[in-house]
Structure 1
Amino acid sequence: MNAEAEIAELELAKIRGTLCMTNDVVAAWESVLHACKAKFLALPTKVAPILATETDVVVAKDYLENAIREALTELSNYQPSIDPVRTGSVTQETTEETAVVEQPKRKVGRPKKGRTIIV
């Protein structure tokens, strides 16, 4: 199959909504994960004043569980601003873009004992 036919097939798949660009999918997932992070990092600020005065463990657990369920419900309705199926256009240049470029791995966690970190 020649390159023009492949490009035409990619264009058709894009129109049908069965093809999406890798960078658009990554951007959409980054948006979703950012929303999750923000929602869950806001929970302590929201629930701490109520839980600080609560003496009944069952009531505190129920309140915390309800706050988490509320956050999850809001996140389940989250719509990222990027629709991977609707953005971008398939051209010869963008088909080369879809190759996944491996990012260098970052070290996560605490350093091992005896090792110093130079910043």
Structure 2
Amino acid sequence: MTAATARNAAEIATINKSSKNVASNDSDAGLTLRQRETAQYVSDMILELRNLAKAVKLFKVMVPLEYAYYEAYSVANRVDVPNEEADRLRELAKLSEAANESIPDDY
């Protein structure tokens, strides 16, 4: 495993751990179908507003709308990582940490 691959695995594991903490504290973990459909509708409307702002070069308006779009879209299209995949990523993180420790400081 190369150092870059090990770093990527560690970053993925860190993101996964962070996402797991957010999911456990977030109320969108058990959304109803209506809530998901509403979030999808909101994301579609925000995307239209973002595209309108972009078309007339209102970049200071466009950027926050883009963030809002991604937030609504992520709620509407939430995908939970299977436990087996999370375990695999944790194992990759351990391997990458071990690989990073074996890299000389002057590398």
More helix, by proportion:
2
Scaled by the length of structure 1, the TM-score of the pair is: 0.28
Structure number with larger C-alpha Rg: 1
